[in-house]
Chains A and B, each alone.
Chain A
């Protein structure tokens, strides 16, 4: 597992594009700047697009872990003014 401690956990493995990104974005809006979210998502389309879109929104991707079961866990730090 990872040494990063998350403040929020989100599972978007049951969603399809574009709801994967929308759900992640909406959840992060309720977080404080600097807090960390752990998002579990499916491989292929979500892993290709969700982290990248979050980066474009100004958040920081800290770590990506391949769970080797068709899913990835991604740690993201909320960006913006501290």
Chain B
């Protein structure tokens, strides 16, 4: 029998099981979306080569356990005919996770599916010092837990009030979760405490007269990890309004990790070791090149 390169297998989404000779196959899922046709193929493969079940991972992954070593090539071929590729394990950019976002969810502020597909195309499986997780969540409800990722993205809105149509109904003050809005009905004024505002956009979505306008944007979180050591990602940049800026920042983040990260060191630890200020400067440089300044 020919020698098995376990590293190559793992890179290709096959993880060795406790049971000798068996592998659990991880599939490439982007933003938690699979077509019904793909599901049908997964069902067939799990029945034919596995044990008739699949495992759903904590990060929107699908794994088919109990694939025999000798079936791996056949399984790969069958799946690829249905447009399903193996997923990535090991030290590289992992499955891009996403919630349903604005194309489905009424709370959604950004199109998470579209952004997840773009990220998948640009960054998926890039080699890095350690695993690297990117997660995208459509709004402050944070269903996808942006801060748990090495790089998390959250849809956000910066609200601006326009007096003209406001009926002073009181709804925005009632829905604001951080009590950032104060309505002064007597003097027909509304004030917003910018330090309290978390950019959740509830005031904008709720206002019956569209008196709150808001530019949709992106909040980014860096250095989250949820394994043996736990740390929440930190928001070190102001809200970004352009998707191209988001990509520039992601690119700069990956380059920083490649440049400074030691083999086997999680991204959070790289930032801590090298310095948040140095990391932040590199990110700012990446977006300042074109604009010269940052929106606050």
B208 located at the interface, meaning its Cβ lies under 8 Å from any Cβ of chain A in the complex: yes
Cβ-defined contact, B106 with A62, below 8 A: no
Cβ-defined contact, B167 with A62, below 8 A: yes
Which residues of chain A are near B106, meaning CB under 8 Å? 52-53, 56
Interface residues of A in 24-60 (CB under 8 A from B): 43, 47-48, 51-53, 55-56, 60
Chain B: interface size category: 10 to 19
A64 located at the interface, meaning its Cβ lies under 8 Å from any Cβ of chain B in the complex: yes
State in angstroms the CA–CA spacing of A56 and B107 once bound together. Answer: 12
B102 located at the interface, meaning its Cβ lies under 8 Å from any Cβ of chain A in the complex: no
A12 located at the interface, meaning its Cβ lies under 8 Å from any Cβ of chain B in the complex: no
Distance in angstroms from A66 CB to nearest chain B CB is 6
Interface residues of B in 21-48 (CB under 8 A from A): none
Distance in angstroms from A52 CB to nearest chain B CB is 5
Cβ-defined contact, B208 with A48, below 8 A: no
State in angstroms the CA–CA spacing of A64 and B173 once bound together. Answer: 9
Cβ-defined contact, A48 with B171, below 8 A: no
User: Which residues of B come within 8 Å of A, CB atoms?
Assistant: 106, 167, 169-171, 173-175, 177, 202, 205-206, 208
20 A-B residue pairs with Cβ-Cβ distance under 8 Å, sorted by A, are A43-B174, A47-B175, A48-B177, A48-B202, A51-B171, A51-B208, A52-B106, A52-B175, A52-B205, A53-B106, A55-B208, A60-B208, A62-B169, A63-B169, A64-B170, A65-B170, A66-B170, A66-B174, A72-B174, A74-B171
